[in-house]
Structure 1
Amino acid sequence: MYLKRFIFLFFSLCFLNQCIYDFYKKEFETDKDSNRFFLLAALGLISNPNHKLFQFLPATSRNLKNEQFIDSYFSEKNNGRPKIIFIHGWNPAERDSDPVPGDSKKIENIQNTFRNGIIHYQENISSAKDKYELFLYTYRTSSSVLFNGQNFASVLKSAFKKDDKIIVIAHSMGGIVTRSAMLSSDYESGMIDGVVTLASPQYGSPFATPNFSDDPLLKNLVSYLTETLGGKDLRHTNKGTGQITINGSENDTLDYINTNLTDNSRFISYYGVLNGCSGNEAFYYATGCQILSSTNPGFSANDGIVPENSAILGGLTRKQLKFTGYDHSMMAFQTNDVDDLKSLALFQAVIVSVDELLALP
């Protein structure tokens, strides 16, 4: 029952995403332009056109305008102030064959994940606006994590000076893209001073794992989710501290990152747990929680998508902070009401963690 509702809703949302994609297709570059941009990127003359870093300029209205999101290449950075960078997670409807999104679409993708957090920053919650400059990074999530990590490192290297203080606040897939960036050839040691992960599947998610369940509906869902390289990189790995074993499940990408990235002391992990699979705002997260909890093997502590142990990297990060009654989207500050205490409490806690990471030697 739960599984059928989950599958129906998921594919309904995917079809809705396709409708939105078609409606906003005017905001994408033409296919001819896309080919030209990718050729220039391959020659190293421009950065990957699917990737972009924006600086956010605060105003007063909660009706955020595109004009507040400035291409970081042209923005006037205050090099005396530390930077925080929001990086979003995975979009299951996205494909590498999609045209290059224009800036309006890129900004929309960012706001779909972080609108509440951006408003909290603008309204100076926890003095965030006074202390930090805010940047936001977007990328093509269907591409591989290692490819996206290389591009993220390249963008950071070109946008900031070596002595700039940078803290990344990463939701979901954004966390493992950041970890990948720190291992890439374009990464310079110390470029990122700390990372706050928000429900990041650092050991993957069973929902991207073919052997998670024998149920044919769930297998079809997993097949759809893992059509792309980015989707495959979200698979559950059996390797890792405290990991529950799913027969035949492996993820070479995450194993490579987790084995080779040794500076976990600069990571603080936040994770959501739906106790009794309740506390969520969207019912499909409750359904996802019930599937994760009841399928053998079971993952009783989760946010509807990511199990607890995956989100905390088996307890290997500097600190692990639990938020009860938060679903996967809420772990990016996204609540239906921007003034919801859950959104505010998470944002306030994250800023405390940013302060802590910046104080490290």
Structure 2
Amino acid sequence: MFRNKRTYSFAIHCFIFSFLFQTCIYDFYRKEFVSEKQKNDEVLLLALLGILPNPNQKLFGFIPGASRDLSNSQFLNAEWFPKTNKKKLVLIHGWNPAERDSDPITNDEKKIQNIKNTFRNGLVHFQEGQASANSEFDLYVYTYRTSNSILVNGRQFHSTLRSHFSDSDSVAIIAHSMGGLVTRVALAKETGSLPFVRLVVTLASPQFGSPFATKSFFSSNAFVNELGSYLVDTQGGQELAYTNHGNLQTNLTGASNEVLDAINDSYLNSSLNQKFISFAGILSNCSMGETFYYNTGCSILNNAGFTSSDGIVTSNSARLGNLSYKQINISDCDHSMMAFQTVNVDDAKSLNLFTQVITEIRNYP
């Protein structure tokens, strides 16, 4: 894990200037992955060097079914998923608090469960023809180990997209939370071109980080300490930290995130931000979320001067400081609801958000 500023600078240097140099890549990723379970390390290192596919990430094609009780058989390895002339949607989830780098490599059952945990409602909406999405698009879903660096995951997401789609395809990515950051790395000019990615829709992505992943935000509040300590216990969690560097950001004393700064700075002199539409959840008061967890987070952020959030991510961070092609506020949706995940799958907030996302994709120039 990155423990000090010097190590951060080394990682950023690798990311921006040296992705093609195997020595730099090997040194960075070896520090990232050497862990308690040595038997996994060799596989992961070979994967990170591009010699083997990473066993903790996978792209599936989704086959619509008849039951809302989604079966694992509906998730087909992307290599076997039939190619059609339809446009493509790719869902990528956000942070998974249940996994760590040292955990055993996930099997397909666990990978599919990770996807369902975030996007079950959205998958149901798709298979039931909400917004006629299933008549126009083929749907893919991507999973990855979120405890790893977003630089690592972004580079691997790029490789996966590059290997499964051709330049003649038309692909739109729908990214929740951390998934939006992974996608920004995948599309960054330093990573490589993906001309078939037409649009990225981010749903509550902390594009300028979140205070809850920021050590200077920790306090005597038990909720903040528990959440923050758990986040910064992993490399991926550390890289969700809030940065004051973003456009229109509210200043947070002691906050910085060199990784996000480097990624976002790499977009500034290009047209890449014009490929992004940013959705932000806005809780009008801190009782409108579906869970105590996000309502509590909303109250804490409000008391700290962040009066517009989904309970985890501030609205300016989710909106990319208004630098994306378009920014859309969604009223009274907490962070989980921004991935279509309402308790009742037929909740109007879930259905309306899904419809709005598909409509924005459909209408994008």
TM-score bracket, shorter-length normalisation: 0.7 to 0.9
Tell me whether 1:59 sits opposite 2:65 in the alignment. yes
Counterpart CA distance in 2 for 1:42 and 1:275 is 43
**Does the CA-based 8 Å contact 1:157-1:186 persist in structure 2?**
no
Q: Which residue of 1 aligns with 2:21?
A: none
Counterpart CA distance in 1 for 2:190 and 2:162 is 11
Q: Which residue of 2 aligns with 1:276?
A: 285
Question: How much has 1:34 moved relative to structure 2?
Answer: 4.0
Tell me whether 1:330 sits opposite 2:334 in the alignment. no
Label 1:132 to 1:222 Cα distance change in 2 as closer, same or farther (>3 A).
Answer: same
Counterpart CA distance in 2 for 1:104 and 1:32 is 23
**Does the CA-based 8 Å contact 2:88-2:170 persist in structure 1?**
yes
Letter in 1 for 2:255: S
Q: Which residue of 2 aligns with 1:203?
A: 208
Counterpart CA distance in 1 for 2:158 and 2:61 is 17
Unaligned runs of 5+ in 2: 1-36
Task: Tell me the percent identity.
Answer: 50
Question: How much has 1:222 moved relative to structure 2?
Answer: 1.8
SS at structure 2 position matched to 1:204: coil
Tell me whether 1:222 sits opposite 2:228 in the alignment. yes
Unaligned runs of 5+ in 1: 1-30
After TM superposition, list the pairs within 5 Å mapping 1:164-243 onto structure 2: 164-183=169-188, 187-215=192-220, 217=222, 218-219=224-225, 221-243=227-249
After TM superposition, list the pairs within 5 Å mapping 1:1-361 onto structure 2: 34=40, 37-38=43-44, 40-42=46-48, 44-78=50-84, 80-183=85-188, 187-215=192-220, 217=222, 218-219=224-225, 221-261=227-267, 262=270, 263-295=272-304, 298-357=305-364, 360=365
Q: Deviations over 1:223-269 (max 9, x none)?
A: 32101110011000000111011112100111011111231111111
**Does the CA-based 8 Å contact 2:212-2:218 persist in structure 1?**
no
Counterpart CA distance in 1 for 2:105 and 2:188 is 26
**Does the CA-based 8 Å contact 1:154-1:186 persist in structure 2?**
no
Label 1:258 to 1:265 Cα distance change in 2 as closer, same or farther (>3 A).
Answer: same
Q: Which residue of 2 aligns with 1:23?
A: none
Q: How many residues align structurally?
A: 325
TM-score by length of 2: 0.85
Question: How much has 1:33 moved relative to structure 2?
Answer: 7.2
Letter in 2 for 1:179: R
Letter in 2 for 1:92: P
**Does the CA-based 8 Å contact 1:205-1:235 persist in structure 2?**
yes
Question: How much has 1:187 moved relative to structure 2?
Answer: 2.9
Label 1:251 to 1:134 Cα distance change in 2 as closer, same or farther (>3 A).
Answer: same
Label 1:127 to 1:35 Cα distance change in 2 as closer, same or farther (>3 A).
Answer: same
Counterpart CA distance in 2 for 1:278 and 1:40 is 47
Counterpart CA distance in 2 for 1:213 and 1:32 is 33
Letter in 2 for 1:68: Q
Letter in 2 for 1:275: S
Q: Deviations over 1:19-58 (max 9, x none)?
A: xxxxxxxxxxxx7974564365256343111110000011
**Does the CA-based 8 Å contact 1:205-1:236 persist in structure 2?**
yes
Counterpart CA distance in 2 for 1:42 and 1:303 is 34
Letter in 1 for 2:301: L
Letter in 1 for 2:328: L
**Does the CA-based 8 Å contact 2:218-2:228 persist in structure 1?**
no
Q: Deviations over 1:120-150 (max 9, x none)?
A: 0001111100000000000000000111000
Counterpart CA distance in 1 for 2:191 and 2:318 is 26
Label 1:100 to 1:319 Cα distance change in 2 as closer, same or farther (>3 A).
Answer: same
Counterpart CA distance in 1 for 2:131 and 2:186 is 29
Counterpart CA distance in 1 for 2:221 and 2:337 is 30
SS at structure 2 position matched to 1:54: strand
Question: How much has 1:185 moved relative to structure 2?
Answer: 5.2
